[in-house]
Amino acid sequence: MLIVSKGPYREKLVRYTSKVYGGGIEFLEPQPRRKYLELLSRARYAVNPSRHKAFSMFTAEALACGVPVITTAIVKFKIWYKQGVYLCNNFEELEKLLSLIIKSEEEVRRALIEYSHQFRQLFSWNNLADKFISIINSFTRK
C-alpha cells in the first residue's frame, strides 16, 4: 500500500500503520503532477478519508483514471457499487469496507471500473463544453 500525503495526522498514521501492519505501507510526500497521475492511474483503489471533502478533485481524478474510490460521507454507512464510490462515516466503517472489498475484489473492481468509464464520459471536457454552450444559447434565444 502506498500513501501519498503531507496532512497533519501523517506522523500518527505512520506510527499506527507501522504497529498494525508491520511496515508494509509506504509513505510518500506529495509528488509532481505527472508522477502523481502515474501513481494514481496504477492504484487498485483511491482512498480519501477526509471528513470535510468527500468529493474532491482527487476523487474526480481517480474516477477519471478508472480507479474506484473509497471516501467519507455524512450519511449512514452505504456502499454504492454502481456509482463507483464507496462511502463510510468513520475509520471503523472504513476497516469493515476494506475487508468487504478484499473478499469480493474482482467483482467489485469490475463494476467500479465500468462506472469510472461512464463518469469520465459524463464529465469530459467536450461534454461539459457542449452543455455550457447549450446553456449560453438558451439565454441568447430569449
pLDDT in tens, 42-61: 998 888 877 666 667 888 88
**pLDDT at site 5:** 82
CA dihedral 98, 64, 130, 140 (to 10 degrees): 60
pLDDT band of residue 80 (cuts 50, 70, 90) is very low
The DSSP symbol for 82 reads T
pTM: 0.59
CATH of 45-140, one of 1.10.10.10, 3.40.50.2000, 3.10.20.740, 3.10.20.520: 3.40.50.2000
CA dihedral 79, 82, 84, 86 (to 10 degrees): 0
Domain residues of the chain, as ranges?
Answer: 45-140
C-beta neighbour count of 81 within 10 angstroms: 16
